Amino acid sequence: MRLVLIGLFALAAAALAIVLAAWLAERRLDRMADARSFDDVAKVPAVETALVLGTAPIGPEGGPNVYFVRRLDAAAALWQAGKVRYFIVSGSDGEPAAMRAGLVARGVPASTIYLDPAGYRTWDSVRRAREIFGQKRLMVVSQRFHLSRALFLAREIGIEAWGFEARDVETPYSVFTELRRFPSALRAYFDVWTDAPARAAGPAVGIGVDPPS
């Protein structure tokens, strides 16, 4: 019985340590993003290419995903303000195609939008922006909690990056949606530490040279 109690105590202590580490990781990434993340399009530096990070176009309740809608609104605002010339829309499954359609509906020319269908995770999207699309300077578009992680990853692999904050969702769809940012932050450090390759390779694409896919 005593050994069982010791084992349970050890498991609880380990779980608490992981939770604390995840919280500290997320807080540190958020502070690091302060100087390079903007919510006012007028203050955003002009950068040739923006990386728009994907999410499902349809929310769990069956209607439009508010995270998705607001990311496209933010990306279109960059175009309208003349802050970027090209977009990489990165996600998995049908996300990039849906993102392109949404941007075109907002007045962005299809000829400026490059699809990255292998953005399975933020790490993949950022690595492929450099390794496949050849980008060394990027404007990243997402909600702030996501941007802080993406900017950290970009910096660690040698990309000079800034973030434009899409409006956050006032009422998250679930507790899981709200809390997953903490383990995701911890995983960002793990990805950098292990220097994990992107899940998919591919031929190089020249932004502004090769036609969009």
Tell me the pLDDT band of 63, cut-offs 50, 70 and 90. Answer: confident
The domain total for the chain is 1
Residue 175 confidence class, pLDDT cut points 50, 70, 90: low
pLDDT digits (tens, 9 = 90+) for 82-139: 999 999 999 998 999 999 999 999 999 999 999 999 999 999 999 999 999 999 999 9
- 81: domain CATH number is 3.40.50
Kindly state whether residue 208 falls inside one of the protein's structural domains.
no
Provide the whole-model pTM.
Answer: 0.85
19 token code pair? 């939770």
- Does residue 54 fall inside a structural domain? yes
In this structure, are residues 29 and 35 in contact, taking their beta carbons and an 8 Å threshold?
no
With contact defined as beta carbons under 8 Å apart, do 213 and 113 qualify? no
CA dist list (Å): 166 to 114, 158, 209:
20, 24, 28
End-to-end CA, the chain: 63
Spatial contact of 135 and 164, defined as CB atoms under 8 Å apart: no
Task: Assess contact for 125 and 164: CB atoms under 8 A.
Answer: no
Closest listed residue to residue 177, CA positions, set 60, 21, 74, 98: 60
Whether 127 is in a domain gets the answer: yes
Taking a C-beta distance cutoff of 8 angstroms, is the pair 22, 183 a contact? yes
Examine residue 90 and state whether it is found in any structural domain, yes or no.
Answer: yes
Most distant pair of Cα atoms in the chain: their distance: 69
The token pair at 102 is 């949404």
Please give the residue range of the domain that contains residue 7.
2-194
Instruction: Tell whether 199 is covered by a domain.
Output: no
Q: What is the mean pLDDT of the chain?
A: 84
**Residue 147 phi, psi dihedral angles, 5° rounding:** -60, -40
Q: What is the pLDDT of residues 188-207, one digit of tens each?
A: 778 878 888 888 788 999 99
Question: What residues contact 43, with CB distance under 8 A and at least 6 apart?
Answer: none
Q: Please check whether residue 114 lies inside any domain of the structure.
A: yes
In a domain, 37, yes or no: yes
Question: Is 66 within a domain?
Answer: yes
